[in-house]
Structure formats: C-alpha cells, structure tokens
Structure 1
C-alpha cells in the first residue's frame, strides 16, 4: 500500500520507517534541516524496540507524491488547519487520513477541511522525538497505535490499515471499538502530565512528592473525564485510577512535549489541550478550575512563543 506521512517527526517518522521495513511504499513530508537530512542521508530510527535505517522519498511538497491509500497525519495540533489545507494533492477518492495527534479536536478540524469521509481517528502511545536531523529517537512507551472509524464502524479500509500496522515490527497495533473513548482517555492523561510538568517546570517525580501538586494532577484527570462523560463518551469507570497508577510508575525525570516546547521557545499545543478542555467544559456546563488554572498560567508563554 502507498502511505504518505505528513509530519515525519518523532511519531510520523517512526511509523513511516516501520511500515517501510514491512514492505510498504512510504513517502515522507517534512521540512527544514530534518528534510535536508532525510534527502541526503535517509532516516535512522534509534528505538528500544530495535534500530533501523531507511531511505525513503522525502519532500516538503505533497504534489511530488500524489494520491495515496493512507495519509498518516502527525503534525502538531496547532498546525492542523494549515497542514490540512495543503493535503489535497495526496487525496484520491478513497484516501484515508489518519490523525495521530494530541487532543480531541483534530479529527473535526481535518474533516472541516477535507471532508469527514476521508478521516479516521488515531491515538499514539510513544515517547519519540527528532534527536538530530534525520534521526528519530524512540526512548519509551509501548509504541502502541490505536485507530478506528469515527462512527465506530469496522470498515474494510480500517481493517486493511490494521493489517498493515499489525505486520510491522515494532508497532503494537490496536483497532479500537470506539475511537472517541480512546481519544478522550489519552486526553485525560496528557492534560495532567503536560499541564503539570509545564506549569511547574518540574519533572513528574517532584510533582508526585508534593501533596498539593499531586492532588492537582489527579483533579485535572478527573475534570477531563467529567467533560468527556458529559459529552456522552463512555469512558471506563477506572480511568482516573488507571492513569494515576501509570503516572506513579513513570521515570521520575519524565517531563512532556509541552514542557519541551515551552523551554525551547517553540509554539505550544496549549489550545489543543487545556484550552480545548475549557471550551468543551463551557459547552456542556462543567466546571474545570484546574484546567483553567493551567491554561491561564501558560497562555502568556504560548503568546510569547508564537511571536
């Protein structure tokens, strides 16, 4: 099958390399120094699940690639609308665009640009970044990728995607029964982990050691779950306890991508995370004071980093 990876960074680059190793026709969309390195030296994946080197066609112009069977959409959430507007050359009548991004709004934003019939939801559980241009470093996480039709249907196209990902070494592939549940489930964790490490500028270990901070971490998860259930998302009853148990076991030096972007003067995904919680909460009449606090603390930094 022909795949395009739109945003071949830590997540997209990892997926593209594993699919290429499984024999699929993979094309990368990237930019800047990373693109230059991909074009000249190929891509190296350094992974806890095994390293690999691949030489794949890479470009910053989707028109160079043409229509694909699947587009793996892996850009930062704040780039979703702009990137979606550039995706048209990759689309045929049957092309499937799978969002592997942070947040619960990306699929809707994509659908508004390219049509809901093209969009499939996805969730990625992987700690991976661009270590150097052309090098993807996978340092943790199960490399689990969950995906599914937005309406919950088990379609031929999503089963074909499942087969391609399942046969790729280094990918834990899961076809979701209800992708909305999976999106909100991860959202609850990432808002707590990202919000607390970024707002405090401290790793999870020190947050766990502070009773007040650890209580706030829990309340962020609880608030997101409350909003999800108010939107009729059937989250498991143990979601909060599950994530608190998971967070207790994280490496004490673990931060988040939001903290990384904050401390490296990069644009923040704040509006796709805590800003989104606040907006959804307002729509359903739920109070989310902890998420509001994180949003208020980080909004000036987000403004500064966008200049």
Structure 2
C-alpha cells in the first residue's frame, strides 16, 4: 500500500464503513465511498460522526454510485454484509490493480476464503471490528464505544504491509493490532457475536443490557461462549476461557446496545445467519465436533427469521 498518498475505497457505506472511512478521511486520506441509499444526502451534506472520542464532520465527501466511477485503489475496505458477497464479483474488479489490498471487515467465517478464491489470497486481509456503532440517519453515524480493529493476513502470518497498515490506522485514531492468525481471531470474535447477536433476536428483541439482566440468558451466553472456545481449541485455535468474563464485563459497559443482527432483523433486512451461526457449526461437524448450544441457537434463528 502506498501510505504517502493512498487511494482508498469503501464498499459498504453503512455504519462501519462510514465510521472507519470517515476516520481515515478526517486524517487526510483520499477515501472514496460507494453509496446507494445515502448518496444524495451525503453528496449534499457530507458525513457526520458523533463519537465518545470526539464528534467530527466531513462537509465534502467523495461518494460514488459505482466502483467503475471510483477506479483503481491501493486499499479496498469491504464493510457490507456477508449476505451480499456475490455482488463483490462485479463490484471489486474496477477497484483492483496489481498490489491492491482487499480488507474485509465482515462478520463470521467464510468471507476471507471467498475473496481469496476469486481474487487471490495474496490480496486479502481480514479485520475484526470490536465497536459499538449505529447509523442513526442518512449520513449520520453514532459511535457509542470501543473501535479496535484486529488485522490478519489470509495467506498466513503478518507481513510488512500488515504492520504498516496498522500503524497508519493508529495515526488516524483507530486502535489497531495485528493478529498472528486471522482464522483464530475470527473464532475469537464469534465468542461475542454468536451469543449476543443471536440471543438479541431469539429472546425477543433484547439489547445487550437486557440480555445480561436476565440470569437465565446470561447463563446461556456463558454456555455458548464456552462451547465456541472449546471448539476453536479442538480446531487448533487456542482461546483462553478467561475471555468469557472479560467479554461479559466489557459488554456491561455498552449499556443498552442493540447488536447489528437485531437491527437488521427488526428492519426486515437479511441477517448474517450462515456466516455467524451456520458456518461455525458446519466447520465443526466436518471435523467431527458437535456444537449443540450453537446449533440450537442457529435453528431458533432460522425459525424466527422465516416467521417474521
């Protein structure tokens, strides 16, 4: 990546894409946003970010209706839902050149492999976002808490470019660390995403505070977390059991936070059912490992989504 004057594209300009892209633009980077529903508002009024780290506005934003209009970039950040990955086969080619980095910030398992299969593993990095964030109006993003990105390479261990990208993110006010194993980091994020995104829907529209205020639901959160950690360990991805208490304690600081899957569910949008719940179950079964707690939640979610 040319860190002196990089061209950066954001594919998926919702809450996550606009927040991280906005931070990069705030600190002087040339950032181009692929926009659909918010295009007219952002073209006219720019982006507004309210954040516990300090509010900021970008009065003028490079926003586009097509990737062909953007052209080749040094870094492409994918922040769209994994449910829409098929369209990336059309969206990404105009953005790519020989050394373009493709950084997917998507949830769950499978997106890194999908991108590597179609565009080459050497281009692909994954990022795990630990952030509480919502889009509250067209062009308006509310950053509630946290914000760290954990970076990893699809092709293996960290490279010079991985470390350089992390340094640049930090310069732009984005807490960032480099992971030695991307797949292990993805399993680690599932420890939070599976229970809280899932139970927020399955328990009838509860936010994180309501989930943890219910003793039975907190016990279920802990069972789900333990099962994911134990499964990851059997697959060769060691995660300490102490992460359970750490994640629950951090979640209590989020107050009444609505996970993204609940927001999608309530809006009638597609929920990332397969990437977050289905794929871990399938990968475990392929290795001869049962995940009864996660599979039960997966089935509840399938039924709830089908019946809404």
Question: What is the TM-score normalised by the length of structure 1?
Answer: 0.91
1:101 aligns with 2:113: no
Partner of 1:39: 43
Partner of 1:51: 55
Structure 2 runs not aligned, ≥5 long: 1-5
Instruction: Tell me, yes or no, if the aligned pair for 2:202 and 2:304 is still in contact at 8 Å.
Output: no
Instruction: Tell me, yes or no, if the aligned pair for 2:132 and 2:257 is still in contact at 8 Å.
Output: no
RMSD: 1.8
Map 1:147-296; keep pairs closer than 5 Å: 147-169=151-173, 171-201=174-204, 202-251=206-255, 253-296=256-299
Match of 2:133 among 125, 128, 131: 128
- Equivalenced residue count is 301
Of 118-127 and 158-167, deviating more is: 158-167
Whole-Å separation in 2 of the counterparts to 1:244 and 1:207:
11
Partner of 1:26: 31
Instruction: Tell me, yes or no, if the aligned pair for 1:81 and 1:110 is still in contact at 8 Å.
Output: no
Gap change, CA 1:127 and 1:209, over 3 Å in 2: closer
Instruction: Tell me, yes or no, if the aligned pair for 2:43 and 2:63 is still in contact at 8 Å.
Output: yes
**1:304 Cα shift?**
5.5
Structure 1 runs not aligned, ≥5 long: none
**1:220 Cα shift?**
1.1
Partner of 1:17: 22
Whole-Å separation in 1 of the counterparts to 2:228 and 2:64:
38
**1:60 Cα shift?**
2.4
1:53-89 CA distance string (max 9 Å, x none): 1122111210111111111110011112322442111
The 3-state SS of whatever aligns with 1:131 is strand
Whole-Å separation in 2 of the counterparts to 1:84 and 1:125:
27
The 3-state SS of whatever aligns with 1:94 is coil
The 3-state SS of whatever aligns with 1:285 is coil
1:4-23 CA distance string (max 9 Å, x none): 11111111111111111211
Instruction: Tell me, yes or no, if the aligned pair for 1:35 and 1:59 is still in contact at 8 Å.
Output: yes
Partner of 1:118: 123
**1:248 Cα shift?**
4.5
Partner of 1:2: 7
Whole-Å separation in 2 of the counterparts to 1:113 and 1:37:
34
Whole-Å separation in 1 of the counterparts to 2:138 and 2:209:
30
1:212-260 CA distance string (max 9 Å, x none): 3222111111121122122211223423333233344442x23311111
Instruction: Tell me, yes or no, if the aligned pair for 1:227 and 1:277 is still in contact at 8 Å.
Output: no
